[in-house]
Amino acid sequence: MPKTDKKSKPVFTDSINPNFKSKSSSIRGKQEYIDGIRAGNRTVLSQAITLIESTRAEYRELGEEVLEECLADTGNSVRIGITGVPGVGKSTFIESLGKLLLNNGRKLAVLTIDPSSSRSRGSILGDKTRMPWLSAHERAYIRPSPSGGTLGGVARKTRETILLCEAAGFDTIFVETVGVGQSETTVQSMVDFFLLLMLAGAGDELQGIKRGIMEMADLIAINKADQKNINKANQARQEYKNALSLFPAPESGWEPPVLTCSALEEIGLKELWEKIQDYLTLTKENGYFEANRKEQAVYWMYESIQYQLKEKLFHHPAVKKELPTKEKEVEEGKISSFKAATELLELFNG
């Protein structure tokens, strides 16, 4: 773990440090960030991510410039989305699979998307506690969800964080979603492989898994398939297999397998990782891997356009000033929502 100068600069330390704070005036020079990231320095990496997550425009811009310079070093990782309802054992799964990968010499970054998160000392300590082995490993990097903001905003920062982690030499990126909801679609738009964790013995409806999410999965793993649970797990496996067979064949040409595993007893993880390797081999050969990444990059360009445009609009002085009046007029039915919108846009366009 890289040493950080905690006493004199308590602010920009590794994100797993509970003293982490996101606001600081001690900003490095751009080149320092770039060099630090390229050298794989996790402290500098964390600081650069903090820039990108900052609500202050000048920090964010510096972050974007750093990212731009690092771009040539990105892309050389496998990006894996991991989801499943609370209680399915995501933390243990990530910890156990991560252990396997780190023992194979890989470098692993674990990012979390949770739009409801308001990052605090607590939740950072939380990430440290729930993956203690990874937290302590020198080739692992854990970054909790950016705090606050909309799903779009949070996701956008996570996507940039993936790129920075790649530039810092991480060859395996896990993007974990907390809970089950809209965020899966967003995660799918930034990963190469989407892994769905399920439990045996609970119907889909109980697990709150939407049909659309199952359809997104490149692999379903039935977790907690330990000794006393193995029959139920195998039965569930067959059921999910049947269910998957009803879905249209994925564009990738890959047939999503259903496996059983026990993250706690470290059973079935090697097989699972081999399946992911098979997927990568297949999709790199048939061109899907590259095509998908290109499509994702374009998708994120459009997302980013929309996001920046909105930011600009609502920070425009005249718009900002007029907004409360217009809201009131719309509420009172004095003008239509559409006319109010048009008038606000006229202010924006000058």
Residues that bind a second copy (CB under 8 A): 64, 67-68, 71, 74-75, 156, 159-160, 163, 203-205, 208, 210-211, 294, 297-310, 312-313, 326-327, 330-333, 335-342, 344-345, 348-349
The residue type of 123 is S
Nearer to a second copy, 39 or 305 (CB): 305
Nearer to a second copy, 107 or 326 (CB): 326
* Contact present, 314 and 347 (Cβ < 8 Å): no
* Contact present, 242 and 231 (Cβ < 8 Å): no
Nearer to a second copy, 159 or 224 (CB): 159
Record the tokens describing residue 240, joined without a space: 């999910």
Q: Three-state SS for 195?
A: strand
| Terminal-to-terminal C-alpha distance of the chain | 52
Q: At closest approach, how far in Å is the CB of 125 from a second copy?
A: 29
Measured distance CA(315)–CA(292) in Å, rounded: 34
Nearer to a second copy, 10 or 179 (CB): 179
Please state, in angstroms and as integers, the Cα–Cα distance from residue 138 to each residue in 14, 75, 118, 313, following that order.
12, 22, 27, 43
Q: At closest approach, how far in Å is the CB of 121 from a second copy?
A: 29
Q: At closest approach, how far in Å is the CB of 259 from a second copy?
A: 22
Angle of helix 317-331 relative to helix 288-315, nearest 10 degrees, comes to: 80
Q: At closest approach, how far in Å is the CB of 181 from a second copy?
A: 8
Go through 58-83 and write b for each residue having 16 or more CB atoms within 10 A of its CB, e for each that does not. Answer: ebbebbeebbebbeebeeebbbbbbb
Nearer to a second copy, 255 or 311 (CB): 311
Q: At closest approach, how far in Å is the CB of 345 from a second copy?
A: 6
Q: At closest approach, how far in Å is the CB of 331 from a second copy?
A: 4
Nearer to a second copy, 11 or 330 (CB): 330
Q: At closest approach, how far in Å is the CB of 280 from a second copy?
A: 18
Q: 85 CB contacts (<8 Å, ≥6 apart)? A: 179, 180, 207, 208, 209
Residue for token digits 């359809």?
Answer: 215
Nearer to a second copy, 251 or 311 (CB): 311
